[in-house]
Amino acid sequence: MLTLVDQLTAWLEPGAEPFAVATVVGASGSVPRPVGTAMAVRADGAVIGSLSGGCVEAAVHAAALDAIGVGACHRETFGWSDDDAFAVGLTCGGSLEVHVQPVRPGDDGDPAAVALARLAAGDVGAPAALVRRLDVARPTAVVLGDLSGPGSDIPGAGPDNSLRGLVDDGALPAVSAQVAAVLRAGGTATVHAAPGVPDGACDDGALDEPVTLIVETRLPPPRFVVVGANDFAGALVRAVRLLGYRVTLVDAREVFAAPRRFPQADEVVVDWPDRYLAAEAAAGRLDERTGVAVLTHDAKFDVPTLRLALGLPLAYVGAMGSRRSHAQRVRALHDEGVTSDQLARLRSPIGLDLGAVTPEEVAVSVVAELVAVRHGRDAAVPLSRTDGPLHAPPDTPRTTHSKEHHRWT
């Protein structure tokens, strides 16, 4: 739905004909379009957008007109089989799940109409996030973040408050945590969360259907900058890519910073790391989701790069080295004017204490620390040693216990 906002302005005028938006919310196998692709169909039959390049358009068009008439949302599945392959035209061997939602322009009681009008009135290129619930028939839509403010801090938007009313209080913590994860990663995704039990309610043990939402964002993937072209950097590039980051490797030594050595990096840059970071920051290509890992073991690279990185509002700044190297680095940074508050943000020695030795193990320890930081977990404790919801907010008190807690009695 979010991808069509800039084309729906005329359709959203008060008094305009109702329309429906069909959105791909699930895809498997060989399919022509990804999750989040949308097509709008007006009551008079007019169409904006496309879901499949033609192979299921007629069936989706009919489903959209039906949703307009009924006034309720529903989901359709189009998949290949001997019986229906040619009926809907999806002969490529995949399957599409499509959510169809009616919209009544100018109706303040229609959350989708209100959300789309709000988005259309803003800058179509500005950061934006739209969340809808897929497992209910009623139309839903919530815009996250303050779209009127400069920059619109979508990654920091408070999904707890914004999502209240879209889901019950019992499901809110789990839903909010997963929506926040999508916001940090950018792109579009569907999320599933346990319905939960509100405080004071009785859980009869019934296995209710999970809450299902689609989160659409107008955000690029977060960035991660790896400084230093070595084996540890290669392993970290591969690991960080799994979290959805766009990864840049930068090193001033051309002989080591060869793209063929780091094929999974999105880009390999030959430049002084501090100069590169300064240029990227000045161009607005670093933000509060960005991570930086300094793996060079060389003061002439480490100190100026960390001095700059710690002065930027980045999500994660880590540096590899021994305890002795860390102490020397901290003294040098302090002499360079880095404040105590800034130094407190430095993750050094980098990574969690997993006993890691090899480049791949160290990469796992760094990625584990990065995930903990992203979710506000200052101290990583095994889940088997804690009590409480898995997706509780970061400030939720947790109880830790020993292995004896799990002994059978």
CA 185 – CA 191 distance, rounded (Å): 13
State the Cα torsion 390-392-396-400 to the nearest 10°.
Answer: 0
Percent of the chain with pLDDT over 70: 79
Which architecture does CATH list for 122-197+209-219? Roll (3.10)
pLDDT at 230: 95
Residue 298 scores a pLDDT above 90: no
CA 375 – CA 391 distance, rounded (Å): 9
Mean of pLDDT values over 397-407: 51
Residue 234 scores a pLDDT above 90: yes
Of 286, 272, 280, the C-alpha closest to 317 is 286
Mean of pLDDT values over 97-109: 94
Percent of the chain with pLDDT over 90: 51
| Sign of torsion over alpha carbons 261, 263, 265, 266 | positive
3-class SS of residue 111 = helix
Whether the CB-CB separation of 394 and 375 falls below 8 Å is answered with yes
pLDDT at 150: 39
Q: What is the pLDDT of residues 115-164, one digit of tens each?
A: 999 998 887 777 888 999 999 999 999 998 755 443 345 555 566 677 88
Q: Which residues pair with 386 in a beta bridge?
A: 400
pLDDT at 207: 47
pLDDT at 53: 62
- Using DSSP bridges, classify how beta strands 142-144 and 188-193 pair: parallel, antiparallel or unpaired: unpaired
pLDDT at 88: 47
Domain regions of the chain by residue span: 1-117, 122-197+209-219, 223-374
Give the tokens for residue 339.
């404040």
Q: What is the enclosing helix (H) or strand (E) of 47?
A: strand 47-49
- Using DSSP bridges, classify how beta strands 47-49 and 19-28 pair: parallel, antiparallel or unpaired: unpaired
Q: Report the 10 Å Cβ neighbour count for 4.
A: 19
Of 62, 146, 70, the C-alpha closest to 98 is 62
Whole-model pTM? 0.71
Residue 401 scores a pLDDT above 90: no
3-class SS of residue 270 = strand
For domain 223-374, which CATH number applies: 3.40.50.720, 1.10.390.10, 1.10.287.1080, 3.40.190.10? 3.40.50.720
Whether the CB-CB separation of 152 and 128 falls below 8 Å is answered with yes
CA 211 – CA 195 distance, rounded (Å): 6
Q: What is the pLDDT of residues 26-57, one digit of tens each?
A: 877 655 568 899 999 999 999 999 886 666 88
User: Among 60-69, 197-206, 249-258, 300-309, where is mean pLDDT lowest?
Assistant: 197-206
Q: What is the pLDDT of residues 350-365, one digit of tens each?
A: 999 888 999 999 999 9
Mean of pLDDT values over 338-349: 93
3-class SS of residue 358 = coil
Residues across the chain:
409
Work out the mean pLDDT of the chain and round it to a whole number: 83
